[in-house]
Amino acid sequence: MHLIHCTQKLLKELSVPTVDPAEYPDSGEGIGNWYANLFRVERRKCLLFTNEKTLYSFIIPKVVKKDLERIGELFLSNLNYNFQFEEFPVESIANDYGEIKFAKTASRIVLGSMNELRFTYEYEVYRYGGIDKLNPLETNHFLNGLIMGALKYKYPVKAMRELLQSRYEG
């Protein structure tokens, strides 16, 4: 079982029950918990998911209310798509995320990194001339190739690859 730590803004939109993160300590299994934020670009809702251990992130653009009602499925399918794009092993994802619960955020470091990624995404939308002109998988790949100070100046994509290798290959 894993947690998705949601910002207050997202929790208001979701109207799902939350749990106390202290009741669900990280067992060290799998790739860990995630953080989620809801923000707007060009008046469209977007979701940003960030892994708490590696800061590996993916953005889901143009989210509608119906999508938020099935956020767990949306998270897992997009995680799978992004892992396939990065050529990560995806067979373990379904086993790791059998049950997902939601909680409030608990790490200011992760939230700060998410804000940085959001601003970079907004700039990319501006640079390419609109949200419809970006390929979400390529954009997520670009964002995960940015060096992150919170990772002691490592790349999130490299940190996730190392975590997956240590968890599932060794």
What is the average per-residue pLDDT within 38-58? 97
**pLDDT at residue number 21:** 78
Quote the pTM value.
0.93
* pLDDT tens column, 67-126: 999 999 999 999 999 999 999 987 766 566 678 889 999 899 999 999 999 999 999 999
For residue 115, the model assigns a pLDDT of: 96
Q: Which two tokens stand for residue 36?
A: 């989620």
Q: What is the mean pLDDT of the chain?
A: 90
Alpha-carbon torsion, ordered 156, 157, 163, 169, to 10 deg = 180
Q: Which helix (H) or strand (E) holds 73?
A: helix 71-85
Residues 137 and 140: their CA atoms lie apart, in Å, by 5
Q: Could you give the strand order of the β-sheet that contains 44-51, starting from the edge strand earlier in sequence?
A: 18-19, 100-104, 2-6, 34-41, 44-51, 57-63
